[in-house]
A = this chain, B = another copy of it.
Amino acid sequence: MTQNKLDRQSPIPLYYQLKEILLDLIKSGELEGGRLPTEEELCIRYSVSRGTVRKALSELESEGFIVTEAGKGTFAVKPKFEQSLLKFYSIGREMRDLGIELTSRTILREVTKPTREVIKFLGINGDEDVNKLIRVRYLEGEPIILETIWIPVKFCSDLTEKVKDDVPIYDILEYNYNLKILKVREMLEPVIINENEASVMECKPGIPAFLVERITYNLEEIPIEFRKSIIRGDRFKFTTEMYR
C-alpha cells in the first residue's frame, strides 16, 4: 500500500522516483541481508531502462547509502553510529557507556605557526608557536572522525611529546599542565569529504560529512584550543530529544 510505483505523468524524473523508492526500502530495514535487487530485477520490477536504474543506484552509492561489492551484489550500508548532540564534547565517555570501542591514532604532531583561522579563534598573534595534532578516531575499528587540534605552545610547551593515543587530551592538559576546561563552544556545518580526508578515513571523496569546529576555554575563559573534526556522514548521525 506504500507509494512504490513510478508516476510516469510526474515532472519528477523516473530515476529520481526510483531512487526515492529504493531509499525508502533501504531505510525500512526490510532488505534480506541488506542486499538490493540486481539491476536486471529492478529494470523488470519497475519497467524502466538499465540507464535509469544505474543513475538511481549511482546516486545512492555516491551519497553513501549503498555499496557495491564485486561479485557479491549491492548492499545497504550498515546502520550509522548515533551520538547525542549534547554529548559530542565527551564522545569518548558516551561511546564507552554504549559499549562502543573508541580508539585514536595520532598521524601528525608538530609545532608550527597558526593559520589565520587559528589566530582569529584563539585570539593569538601570527608569530606565536602552536602545537598541531592530527588524529584519526576509530569506532569499532572504523575510521570515523578526523581531528585537527591547535593548542598554543605557551600553554603546554612539549605537548607533542606528551600526547598518547590512549589518554584523552584534556586529561593530559590537566595532569601535565594544570589546564582545566570550563566550557567549549562548537559550530556545526555540513561539508563534503575531499580526497585527502577520504584517503585517511578510508571512505569515498565526495560523501557528506559534519564539520565540528570547537573553541575550548580554560577556567579563566581564555581560549586554549581550536579543534576541527570531520565526521563521516555515511557512518554517523547526531540525535537529540527536546521537550517543549
- Determine the distance from Cα of A7 to Cα of B191 in the docked complex, in whole angstroms: 25
Q: Is A32 an interface residue (CB 8 A)?
A: no
The answer to whether B191 and A208 touch across the interface, beta carbons within 8 angstroms, is yes
The answer to whether A116 and B30 touch across the interface, beta carbons within 8 angstroms, is yes
**In the complex, chain B residues whose CB is within 8 Å of the CB of A27:** 116-117, 120
- Determine the distance from Cα of A210 to Cα of B113 in the docked complex, in whole angstroms: 33
**In the complex, chain B residues whose CB is within 8 Å of the CB of A120:** 27-29
The answer to whether A210 and B183 touch across the interface, beta carbons within 8 angstroms, is no
**In the complex, chain B residues whose CB is within 8 Å of the CB of A240:** 85-86, 185-186, 188
Q: Which of B117, B182, B188, B194 contacts A85 (CB 8 A)?
A: B188
Interface of chain A residues 183 through 199 with chain B (CB within 8 A): 183-192, 194-196
Looking at A43-51, A96-104, A157-165, A231-239, the stretch in contact with chain B turns out to be: A231-239
- Determine the distance from Cα of A113 to Cα of B1 in the docked complex, in whole angstroms: 7
**In the complex, chain B residues whose CB is within 8 Å of the CB of A86:** 86, 240, 242
Interface residues of A (CB under 8 A from B): 1-3, 12, 16, 20, 24-25, 27-30, 59, 63, 80, 82, 85-86, 89, 112-117, 119-120, 125-127, 181-192, 194-196, 208-210, 233, 237-244
Q: A185-B241, A189-B238 are in contact. List 13 more A-B contacts (CB 8 A).
A: A2-B114, A2-B115, A2-B126, A28-B116, A29-B120, A30-B116, A86-B240, A183-B241, A183-B243, A184-B241, A185-B240, A190-B210, A208-B208
